[in-house]
Amino acid sequence: MKKPIAGFSKLSKSEKIEWIAANYTQNPQESKKILESYWNSDSRLQQLHDEFIENTISNFYMPMGIAPNFLINDRLYAIPMAIEESSVVAAASKAAKFWEGRGGFRTTVLGTEKVGQVHFIYHGSTPKLLDFFKNIKPTLLSEAEHLTQSMQKRGGGIKDIVLKDKTGELSNYYQLHCTFETQDAMGANFINSCLEQFAETLKKEALAHPDFSEQEKQLEVVMSILSNYVPNCLVKAEVRCPIDQLDLTQDISPRDFAEKMVRAVEIAKVEPYRAVTHNKGIMNGIDAVVLATGNDFRAIEAGAHAYAAKDGTYSSLTHAKIEGDLFSFWIEIPLAVGTVGGLTKLHPLVKLNLEILQQPSAVELMQIMAVAGLAQNFAAVSSLVTTGIQKGHMKMHLMNILNQHNATDKEKEAILAHFKTHTVTHRGVLNSLENLRK
């Protein structure tokens, strides 16, 4: 029976590895060898990685690729993508090349507002609370000035504070709904620091407010925290071209292709089971760029999926239409990202990837990420309505199967040639490998 351990965080990295290998793996020596093989040979670089998080024992590698030929607002980009899933980089690259010859991608940032909230419980008169808030709002702002001065110099800061009555959803529940502009920073630390200052001021002023009863003075701040739902930090990316230029394949006419694309998106708008997978494909492209640039893909995912459900049912994040002879395909998505702070100045690959992206501002990075998501979705949906998703996906998955079964370079060459004209299946690949080895 396994036993809990006290003081694990105080152990050295080698001691942590010894303990985890001995207590939770079947072959401790082999486990230690695997963990140590992923350490960086540069000790200073490895220490940098060790200090990103707590209790580190190794590095977890993920492939990083480049999707070239993205023409965005008449500027050409090669987009770094960090992802483990086969075909994502290839699909994005294919879509980028297709649209590069048709005017490229157009983007518009519709807003950059971020949100944080102070959640509190108040037992008393709502009109008295509203009057109290009006009186203390200038104090809330002034007592946070020591936190906002640097951000204000960069053009950011607190945009507004609004008192919201949420007692219809939860008894005695109110909130300070606060909006921020954080420029090129994602701004989580800045926002949370401001919110905690607002909470302190709120409690202090309530205790001193002469019109409050003793009960009303004892308002309870439950928590002060930013929100990853940022519907006003929004970007739009779009492609459009005459329908007769949609000549992706000889198997279907451009007009039929355009109509199928529109119908596929309409299905994703009304059918949540389809919409989830549809949007997952979008996030394949976006998350890969988020990871490569040191941003928080969990926050991006949460905000995007909340936005997809903003109208009361989960729906497609992309849209498509035909107007006369013109086909349009676009996405609107909230993306709160940063190009300063966090890992952007620490992680060597993140710094390099931002250089590859031509040192974008946060607003420019929003646009690049939205384009990556739109390209990925175009590639996936166009495959679904023509050849089917598996033909391309399994071709990319073929190499994973061969590596899993330790195929040699000669075996890979022969099997790759064979499956250029045959349908890829897991069993079929294994049979081919077995026949070669006989």
Q: How far is CA 55 from CA 23, 186, 346, in A?
A: 16, 25, 19
Give the Cα separation of 311 and 163 in Å (integer).
24
* Token digits of residue 95: 């879509």
Q: In 104-209, which residue ranges form alpha helices assigned H by DSSP?
A: 126-142, 145-153, 188-208
Tell me how far apart the alpha carbons of residues 399 and 142 are, in angstroms, rounded to a whole number.
60
Distance CA 77, CA 207 (A): 56
Give the max Cα distance, the chain. Answer: 91
The CA distance from 48 to 46, in Å, is: 5
Please give the Cα distance from 138 to 133 (Å, whole number).
9
**Nearest alpha-carbon partner for 380 in 85, 144, 172, 95:** 95
- Token reading at 311: 């109208």
Residue 186 CA to residue 128 CA, distance in Å, equals: 36
393 is catalytic: yes
Dist CA 78 CA 356 (whole Å): 7
- Active-site pick, 97, 203, 217, 280: 280
320 burial type by CB count under 10 A (0-12 exposed, 13-18 middle, 19+ buried): buried
Known catalytic residue at 280? yes
Q: Is 325 a catalytic residue?
A: no
51 has catalytic annotation:
no
- For residues 79 and 71, what is the distance between their CA atoms, to the nearest angstrom? 11
Helices 272-292 & 362-384, crossing angle to 10 degrees?
A: 140
- State which amino acid sits at residue 213: S
13, 49, 50, 85: the catalytic one is 85
What is the CA angle 175-181-183, rounded to 5?
150
379 in Cβ contact with 95 (< 8 Å): yes
Distance between CA atoms of residues 83 and 279, nearest Å: 16
Which of 296, 319, 347, 364 is an active site residue? 296
Catalytic residue among 209, 269, 278, 393: 393
Residues serving a catalytic function are 85, 280, 296, 393
